[in-house]
Amino acid sequence: MNPMEEANIWFAEAHDEGVALTFKITNHLFSKKSAHQRIDIFETLSYGKMLVLDGRVQLTEKDEFIYHEMLVHIPMLHHPAPRRVLIIGGGDGGAAKEAVKHDVESVTVVEIDEDVVRAAKEYLPFTASAYDDPRVHLHIGDGVQFIEQSDEKYDVVLVDSTDPIGPAEMLFAGEFYGKLKRVLNPGAVVAIQAGSPWYSGDVTAKSYRLLRESFRDVRIYLAPIPTYPAGMWSFIMASDAEMGEPRPITFSTRYITDDVMRGAFALPRFLLEALEG
C-alpha cells in the first residue's frame, strides 16, 4: 500500500450543512492558489484523478465523460452543421475533447485561469489531450471581455463554468446572455451548465428565465453525474432558431445515445415547479 493510502486521507466537498461527498485520496498531485482560485488535483482511490477548484469537484477521470458528452453533444446535434465552436471556461480541455468529435473547423477555449490549463496539461491528459488537436485554440482571458471584444462569430457556444460563486459569477448574469448575441452566427445554439437542480433549483430556474429573455427556444436537460452535488445536474440549451429534432449520433461515445438525448429533456415535477415559481 502506498504511504498516502495508508495515511487514510480523505477529501470532502460539503453539499449542504449536513451532507458531504468524501473521496479517499492516494496522492495530492497539485495544489496552488492561482490569481483566480484555489486549484487542487488529487489521485483518488475510486475515481482516478480529480480536479477541484475552490473546494468544488470539477471532474474526475472516471465520470467526466458523462458531463462533457452531455454539455457538448446535445447542443452540437441540435445545430444542423456546427463548424465554429466557442467554449467559455473548460480550461481542463474536456469539453473541447468532445467538440472535436464533430466535423468542426475550429474550437476556441476561453479560459480565465492559465494555471488550470497548465495543471490539466500536466496531470489530466485524458481531457487536456484536446489541446493536441490543431483545430483547438486556447485564449487565456475573461469570457465576458472576450465576447464583448471578439470580431469572430460561432455556431455553438458552450459555457463550461464553475458554480456561480467566484470567477464564474458574471457568466450567470442576464447581461452576459444578451452580450453573447454579438458572437453568434444565425441559427447558433448556446448551452450552459446550470447547476444542481436539487440543491440550487433557484439558480437553474433563474438561468432559464434569463435565457428566455434573450432567446426564442430555450430547453433544460438533465444528466446524472455521480461526483457532483446530489448526482443530478442541469444544463440549458438556447437558440433564436427553432431547434428541431437532433441529428443522430455518428461518433463514438460512452454515455450519450439517441435515446439518452431524447430522455434528458424529461424534467421532474419539483424542477418544473421551480421554473414556474
For position 94 contacting ligand AG3 by CB under 6 A, the verdict is: yes
Helices of type H across 129-232: 143-149, 174-180, 201-214
CA distance 104 to 81: 9
Q: How far is the CB of 82 from ligand AG3 (least distance, A)?
A: 19
Q: How far is the CB of 80 from ligand AG3 (least distance, A)?
A: 26
Closest chain position to ligand AG3 (CB): 56
Q: How far is the CB of 90 from ligand AG3 (least distance, A)?
A: 5
Phi, psi (rounded to 5 degrees) for 32:
-155, 140
Extract the C-alpha cell encoding 229. 452535488
Burial of 57 (0-12, 13-18, 19+ CB in 10 A): buried
For position 26 contacting ligand AG3 by CB under 6 A, the verdict is: no
**By CB under 6 A, which span of 35-43, 54-62, 139-147, 249-257 interacts with ligand AG3?**
54-62
Nearer to ligand AG3, 22 or 149 (CB): 22
* Interface positions, 102-131, toward ligand AG3 (CB under 6 A): none
259 catalytically annotated: no
Q: How far is the CB of 117 from ligand AG3 (least distance, A)?
A: 12
Burial of 161 (0-12, 13-18, 19+ CB in 10 A): buried
Q: State the DSSP string of 128-154.
A: HGGGGSTTEEEEES-HHHHHHH----E
What mask, x for binding ligand AG3 by CB under 6 A, covers residues 198 to 237?
------------------------------xx--------
For position 58 contacting ligand AG3 by CB under 6 A, the verdict is: yes
**By CB under 6 A, which span of 73-81, 146-154, 160-168, 242-250 interacts with ligand AG3?**
160-168
**Ramachandran quadrant class, 190 (left: phi over 0; alpha: psi -120 to 50; beta: rest):** beta
Q: How far is the CB of 183 from ligand AG3 (least distance, A)?
A: 20
- CA gyration radius, the chain: 18
Please give the distance of CA 112 from its chain centroid, rounded to a whole number: 14
* Interface positions, 176-205, toward ligand AG3 (CB under 6 A): 193
The correct pick among 25, 57, 124, 147 for binding ligand AG3 (CB under 6 A) is 57
The correct pick among 30, 40, 61, 90 for binding ligand AG3 (CB under 6 A) is 90
CA distance 176 to 143: 9
Catalytic residue among 40, 63, 92, 160: 160
Q: How far is the CB of 263 from ligand AG3 (least distance, A)?
A: 21
CA distance 98 to 93: 9
| Integer CA distances (angstroms), 55 to 20, 29, 62, 240, in order | 12, 15, 19, 36
CA distance 196 to 212: 19
In the complex, the residues that contact ligand AG3 under the rule CB under 6 A are 13, 56-59, 90, 92, 94-95, 160, 162-163, 193, 228-229
Kindly list the catalytic residues.
160
